[in-house]
Amino acid sequence: MLFAFPTMSLLIKPPADQQFSELYLLGANRMLDSYPYNIAINQNYSLYVGVVNDLGSAAYYTVYVKLVNQTDLLPNATSGTPSSLQPVYEYKFFLANGESWENHLEFSVSKASAYANLSIINRILINGDVFNVNKYMIRDTNSTRFYFGLVCELWVYNSTINSVQFHNRYVNLGLNLREQT
């Protein structure tokens, strides 16, 4: 058996390392426990978005930031399809295999309005850039909460189709827009 082992290792190949990318979102202290949840208008909130490349080769990445409400469809991990919403912000970067990238994501709702059971985010700031979004949220009937989310989707450049392609990785940070008093 001892002599057969080297020969067997030529015939039986161990599985190749899995090739994947990591996408993560951390709170202001670069920790999982410092995510914002109940947010107010005109207050800045800090996050960190990061990607790790373990694809086995270099890659061009894009992270799209999207604003969703309770009726918008999130990306579908089973079918590998992204959200159909237009991004409000994007990061583009290149990573060699084994490298990681992390960037600050600061956001604030700069203008919103409420009408009975409806709240509308008119404008959001991300990293100092202003975006007119006019995204409505319906009040949760069991509370006074207006739920929405910031979704970060990971896309990678595919040279076969000469375009970026959804990489089936996303994170969704659920938020509650507090009513103004």
> Is pLDDT above 80 for 170?
yes
| Range(s) of the domain holding residue 26 | 17-108+145-177
pLDDT tens digits, 4-42: 434 434 444 444 567 889 999 999 998 888 899 999 999
Answer yes or no: is 151 within a domain: yes
Q: CB of 124 within 8 A of CB of 105?
A: no
pTM (2 decimals)? 0.85
Q: For position 47, which CATH number holds? A: 2.60.40.3880
Answer yes or no: is 140 within a domain: no
Answer yes or no: is 131 within a domain: no
pLDDT tens digits, 59-106: 999 999 999 998 899 999 889 999 999 999 999 999 999 999 999 999
Q: CB-based contacts of 9: which residues, under 8 Å, 6+ apart? A: none
- How many Cβ atoms are within 10 Å of 46's Cβ, its own excluded? 15
113 closest CA partner among 87, 134, 90: 134
Q: CB of 136 within 8 A of CB of 69?
A: yes
Answer yes or no: is 165 within a domain: yes
Answer yes or no: is 115 within a domain: no
How far is Cα 72 from Cα 131, in angstroms, rounded to an integer? 18
Q: CB of 60 within 8 A of CB of 94?
A: yes
Answer yes or no: is 130 within a domain: no
Per the structure, the count of domains in the chain is 1
Answer yes or no: is 25 within a domain: yes
Answer yes or no: is 169 within a domain: yes
